[in-house]
Structure 1
Amino acid sequence: MATDFWSSSHYKRWIVDRATLRQARSDDLQYVDNPEHLAFLNIFFANLISRLGRKLQLRQRVIATAIVFFRRFYVKNSYCETDPFIVAAACCYVAAKAEESPVHIKHVVSEARTLFGEYGIKTFPTDNSKLAEMEFYLVDELDCDLTVFHPYRTLMTLVGKGTSAASDTEVGEAEDGPRYWGTGEGKLELSEQAIQTSWFIINDTLRSELCLLYPPHLIAVAAIYLTLVFSTTTRAQIQASSAHPSSASSAPHAHPDPTRRSSRSASSSSKKHAQPPDLIGWMAGLNVSMSLVATIAQEIISLYALWDRYSEDAGAGEKGSLRHAHALRGSRAAKEAGSRSGSAEMSEARDEGAQGEVRITPMFLVQLLLHMRQKRMEDLSHPANGRPVAVNKMLERTQAAG
């Protein structure tokens, strides 16, 4: 597995621009009344994969990898020409293998069929060979690029946490690699609740196409930035610790280690107990474009505003997200973020009647997908030039290859 993001296939082949994404959705746009519906499909399938991953008892990193695989697959394909439900199941199956947490194919088929049945999908195959066949199609469309870098490791490194109760450390990636986000000096000390908020924000970004547009370390920095913006308590704690560094550093010097020489002890102690950085200084010290971080933050806020109009039953599929955490606990950080100018998603749902907004439901999106596929099949069967077009791309390639 590649330990350097900049030399990996993730960076070289799977960070794309918006023009590529628009081109990928060009066929789908012909069969939807509102282009926003495609953004709702991103939310729906991310939630669906998350639910399936939890049923399969997959770690959060594996679920995130499965969602990234799903996004990559639909850079080259369209919803109207494929069955996204079997693609979602195959993404979970392949991601579990890629992240060394394999699950039996029978278990995936069984759980997927049960889960998808809740959305009225009765056509999911019971034959294991269908999912195995889709696995090969998926890996082929991914160009066998199964290495995925996630923002979680950068988040935990920037806050000085190798492990955390809220974390799922990325096993297999070198911790001592090049610090592409900065010098690594001066960790930002965040509380467990603040780290969890940043972690949930990263989870939430998977409901969009940000993982295809930006490197993961920028998403991690944007998540930290939004956490600091949302939580006045976290900002106050950091500012207090940076304003009074003597109290934090006085304890280690009070009882020096007698087994070490004084100079060595002083140098090691000064390294270990460096003065906590102030927020502005810490952000300025990062080797990243702050304008780009601000752009990502604005896109995350826009995602929450869109997500506010999506209605999932009882928060299904939202576990591990900031929205779900707010719904369950009414966390202080989320309450502070609930202003309309911030993230509308973290506040309570808008009054639909007062706002006059149409809420999007999973059943509406399932019907939309069926309509898109039906119309696409009709267009392919009766094209303007009178020549039918092969629907199954993979079958067409196989026949051409003999």
Structure 2
Amino acid sequence: MAANYWESTQRKHWLFTKDELAAMRAKLEAEDPNLVASFPLPQLRHLNIYFNQQSPTYFGSTLEINRLGKRMGLRQQALATAQVYIKRFYTKVEIRRTNPHHVLVTALYLACKMEECPQHIRLMANEARGFWPTDFQSQTEVARIGECEFYLISEMSSHLIVHSPYRTLTSLQGELGLAQEDVNLAWSVINDHYMTDLPLLHPPHVIALTAILLALVLRQDPSGRLPGTAASASGLVAASAALAQAQAQAQARAAMMAGGGQTVPGLAPQSSSGLQAMLPPQSPAGEGPAEGNKNPRMAKVHRFAAWLSDSNIDIEAMVDCTQELISFYECHEQYNDKNTREQINRFVKARGLDK
């Protein structure tokens, strides 16, 4: 059962709607409004950026859990699982009641066990002390990580197996004709999605397909790096519009089939694919025949469009994933690491959670 996402605890117990997530978080804050008022925190996306990894090809830095993971040479799968554990845990426990750095290290320690790359608890504590000396300053930290591990397991109801989008991405590489650079770019988008609520909102295969779409519509510079944030947002908007058109066409085709192949009033047939908005611009005049040989990227987009139209993938969910990523990239423009760190340290020290 563990290898089957459709029968997994992730699908049955850890997928929510946005309204459900908001209600759960509001309930946690309502339990102690004085605590919430005394220690205001940055918006949730900024906390996610602080805790989770940041792709170095996008913004030139790595943060917290990724810093620790890279220093220890851990696999990306373990880092991703740890980030999901943190998100799940904080849907059950108000963040101001914990030391987030203890939770972060413990989640990574537990994820390494589950992803079959276990690390000794003393090694984990020693490495963490190098990053957060005030939070890991005594020999009792090993016992504290052990206690926090049971706390995490209990709050997550022992649901520890996490299905990630990476597997879907690699399995579709050959079928969709993706080059390694396309896979690398999609991999970066998947890394970024862990700084949003998407792991709690949509299945991993939907996220992987959204990442592939974005890898095909976003442009890279000659060095192979992702474009700047503004350019990326433009590409994401185009992808979202393309998916919306594709969804409308799918509904029109379904209605026509239900009507015996006849055009249904109010649903005019469209002569071109809704995914045409994803296609790269035509080659300038003089660079090829009038029709132009399709460049490799255009061919990949057509192949993906055909594959998507023949599948049962929830396009509306892909639209939502795309829009969530748009919001995230825009939000990152206002992120201030120093302010976020200071606000977290303030409630940790004031409540004695660093001792």
Tell me the TM-score normalised to structure 1 length. 0.61
Distance 2:45 2:190 in 1: 18
Residue among 70, 73, 76 paired with 1:60: 76
SS of residue paired to 2:154: helix
Matched residues, number: 269
Matches within 5 A, 1:160-199: 160=174, 187-199=175-187
Question: Are the equivalent residues in 2 in contact too, given 1:222–1:297 (CA < 8 A)?
Answer: yes
Equivalent of residue 47 in structure 2, options 41, 50, 56:
41
- Distance 1:23-1:88 versus aligned 2 partners, 3 A rule: same
Structure 1 position 223, deviation (Å): 0.5
8 Å CA contact 2:128–2:136 kept in 1: the answer is no
Residue number among 198, 212, 222 corresponding to 1:224 in the alignment: 212
Aligned to 1:158: 172
* Residue 369 of structure 1 pairs with residue 348 of structure 2: no
Would the aligned equivalents of 1:46 and 1:206 in 2 still touch at CA under 8 Å? yes
* Residues 73-114 of structure 1: CA deviation (Å, up to 9, x unaligned): 111011111111101010011001011110011110011111
**Distance in 2, Cα, partners of 1:302 & 1:208:** 9
> Contact 1:198/1:227 (CA < 8 Å) preserved in 2?
yes
8 Å CA contact 2:101, 2:135 repeated in 1: no
CA change 1:218–1:31 in 2 (3 A) is farther
- Judging changes above 3 Å, is the alpha-carbon distance between structure 1 residues 286 and 80 closer, same or farther for their aligned structure 2 residues? same
Correspondence for 2:7: 7
Does 2:200 correspond to 1:212?
Answer: yes
Q: Runs ≥4 in structure 1, deviation > 6 angstroms?
A: 32-35
1:115-126 residue pairs with structure 2 within 5 A? 115-117=131-133, 121-122=134-135, 125-126=138-139
Deviations 1:322-369 (A, max 9, x none): xxxxxxxxxxxxxxxxxxxxxxxxxxxxxxxxxxxxxx12x3223212
| CA deviations over 1:183-203 (Å, ceiling 9, x no partner) | xxxx21122111100000000
Relative to structure 1, the CA distance from residue 276 to residue 197 in structure 2 (aligned partners, 3 Å threshold; closer, same or farther) is closer
CA distance in structure 1 between the aligned counterparts of 2:151 and 2:208, rounded to whole angstroms: 31
- Is the 1:113–1:125 contact (alpha carbons within 8 Å) kept by the matching residues of 2? no
Amino acid paired to 1:286: S
291, 305, 320: which one aligns with 1:295:
320
Distance 1:134 1:102 in 2: 17
Higher CA-based Rg: 1
Identify the residue that residue 58 of structure 2 maps to in structure 1. none
User: For residues 309 and 38 of structure 2, what CA distance do their matches in structure 1 show?
Assistant: 43
1:374 positional shift: 7.2
For residue 138 of structure 1, report the CA deviation from its aligned partner: 1.1
Q: 1:112 to 1:123 in 2, by over 3 A?
A: closer
Report the CA distance shift for 1:18/1:81 in structure 2 as closer, same or farther (over 3 A): same
Distance of aligned partners of 1:152 and 1:373 in 2 relative to their CA distance in 1, 3 Å threshold: same
1:56–1:103 contact (8 Å) kept in structure 2: no
1:332 is matched with none
Residues 1-27 of structure 1, C-alpha deviations (whole Å, 9 max, x = no match): 611101001110111222332234324
1:270-317 CA distance string (max 9 Å, x none) = xxxxx996342122123212122011111112111112222xxxxxxx
- Structure 2 length normalisation: TM-score? 0.68
CA distance in 2, matches of 1:276, 1:366: 41
Q: Is the 8 A contact 1:70 1:91 kept in 2?
A: yes
Q: Tell me, which stretches of 5 or more residues in structure 1 are unaligned?
A: 161-186, 245-274, 311-359, 379-390, 392-402
Instruction: Report the counterpart of residue 159 of structure 2 in structure 1.
Output: 145
Whole-angstrom CA distance in 2 between matches of 1:228 and 1:308: 24
CA gap of 1:373–1:195, structure 2 versus 1, over 3 A, is same
* Equivalent in 136, 144, 159 of residue 130 of structure 1: 144
In 2, Cα distance between the equivalents of 1:154 and 1:292? 16
Give the whole-Å Cα distance in 1 for the aligned partners of 2:310 and 2:38.
Answer: 45
The yes-or-no answer on 1:70 pairing with 2:70 is no
Instruction: Name the SS of the counterpart of 1:25 in structure 2.
Output: helix
Q: Which runs of 5+ in 2 are unaligned?
A: 54-63, 222-277, 284-292
Pair 1:309-2:334 in alignment: yes
One-letter identity of the residue aligned with 2:342: Q
90-99 or 291-300: bigger deviation: 291-300
3-state SS, counterpart of residue 132 of structure 2: helix
> Which residue of structure 1 aligns with residue 305 of structure 2?
280
Structure 2 counterpart SS, 1:2: coil
CA contact (8 A) 2:48 2:196 kept: yes
Aligned position for 1:112: 128
Identity value in percent: 31
Deviation at 1:56, TM superposition (A): 2.0
Q: In the TM superposition, what is the alpha-carbon distance from 1:33 to its structure 2 partner?
A: 8.8
Partner of 1:388: none
Conserved 8 A contact 1:24-1:78? no
For 1:130 and 1:122, how far apart are their aligned partners in 2?
A: 11
